[in-house]
Copies of this chain bind each other. A is one copy, B any other.
Amino acid sequence: IEAEDAEAFEGLTRELHPADIADLIGLLQEEDREGMITLLGGALHSEVLAELEEDLLEDIIEAMEPAKVAKAVAELDTDDAAFLLEDLDAEKQAEILSYATIEDRLALRAALDFEEESAGRLMQREFFAAPAFWTVGQIIDRLRGTEELPDRFYEVFVVDPAFKPVGSVPLSTLLKSPRDTVIETIMTSRDMHPVPAVMDQEEVAYLFEQYNLISAPVVDDAERLIGMITVDDVVEMVREETQEDMLALGGVEADTGLSDTVFETVRSRFSWLAVNLATAILASLVIALFDAAIGQVVALAILMPIVASMGGNAGTQTLTVVVRSLATKDLTASNAARIVFREALVGFLNGVIFAVIMGALAGVWFYMSGWGGESEAMRLGGVVGAAMIINLLAAGLAGILIPIGLQRAGADPAVSSAVFVTTITDIVGFFVFLGLAAIVLL
């Protein structure tokens, strides 16, 4: 696309939104990307950098000159600047920071000191706060006179003498009120949800969603106001967090994407498939226990995947709903017992329905194929039905108890639940079906 001159490209991109430019860069092949950076004199606009995906960003920053990165960093709010630097190694970070001003350097060092995925990392240090006795007029005059304001903000935070946030005034309320209004009289404290800097970003997203927040004050250990989180950072994070759950349930690592190399992708998928191979072998060992029975009645080999597959699917259904409910906090300690009972009941009832359907089908099929007489066919149908009920009940229980148990143990319920659940439904399915068949039919 661009073996051409920098000016044409500049002209093209000047009209585009930084987010669209970032997407375009993501679509380029690796060599083109490097070419583009050299073409642009070794730098991209800071807003474009802030919109890039993490894995691309690293490559691009590596290719840029440290001084130019430092310039971009200086132009951004602290949250975006920290995002630019967080994945670089310590040496590179130090090199870039050496080009920055003292204040920027201190602010960024402080931001990077917070753990990744914490509120402290998400927040920007630029915000506007005022004491409760100020008037609307004073605030507006101050806003007009101050240079060091965030690019965008939506609320004025009201602080007490200890710089503790006690309320907030949305800008729309501020604009609607006469100049002589004291802000204490128009501030709301009900919508005030100070976020501790160490809070996990998933918790932050929950607060924003639950209370329809647009921005929230971030406080330190002493409850002093130190920063602000705005909703635009949260929108993206909500999707990412939910998608992480979805990817984890599908057996894919969270930070993989289409721009990874083939080798990276093979490796990241390999580990999950290896776990699955181990569990599949475990399930085959159960089948191997009953090799004599299968040798005598081949129909067992034909029917056993059906029982296992129904269990796997029923378990995945329950698991998906449970992982979702844990994420939205609809499922908590207070209603867990009720929901466990409910899922077991649902599994049992669907088990009964499919036991009748599949039991009848299996009996008829067995009889018509001439594998046995009427009595054997009926007994086989009964075995299929009983195995179906037991396996769907097990699926319901595994689908809820495993994620809840993992969460209580401090693990992410989305990540490893799926493999446990299908292992249980495979093993229970094969064992109960073949075991019952061995007892009843032989």
Contacts and interface: CB of A to CB of B under 8 A. Distances in A.
Interface stretch (A90-98, A117-125, A265-273, A402-410): A265-273
A238 B256 CA distance: 20
A320 B182 CA distance: 54
Given A262-B342, A265-B342, A284-B306, A319 B250 contact: yes
Interface residues of A, number: 111
- Specify how many copies of this chain sit in the oligomer: 2
Given A251-B320, A269-B317, 17 more contacts: A23-B329, A143-B172, A152-B172, A154-B214, A171-B171, A214-B214, A243-B324, A252-B321, A258-B339, A262-B342, A266-B349, A272-B313, A280-B305, A281-B361, A284-B305, A287-B302, A309-B426
A177 B144 contact: yes
B262 A324 contact: no
28 contacts: A17-B191, A19-B210, A27-B334, A140-B175, A144-B175, A152-B172, A152-B214, A154-B154, A154-B171, A171-B172, A174-B175, A214-B231, A231-B231, A235-B238, A242-B243, A243-B324, A245-B246, A258-B321, A265-B342, A265-B346, A270-B350, A270-B353, A272-B313, A272-B317, A273-B317, A276-B310, A280-B306, A305-B305
Interface stretch (A4-12, A36-44, A58-66, A288-296): A288-296
Contacts of A216: none
Contacts of A323: 246
Contacts of A357: 277
A74 interface: no
Contacts of A317: 250-252, 269, 272-273
Interface of A: 17, 19-20, 23, 26-27, 140, 143-144, 146, 149-150, 152-154, 170-172, 174-178, 190-191, 208-214, 231-232, 234-236, 238-239, 242-243, 245-247, 249-252, 256-258, 262, 265-266, 269-270, 272-273, 276-277, 280-281, 283-284, 287-288, 291, 294-295, 298-306, 308-310, 313-314, 316-317, 319-321, 323-325, 328-331, 334-335, 339, 342, 345-346, 349-350, 353-354, 357-358, 361, 369, 426, 430
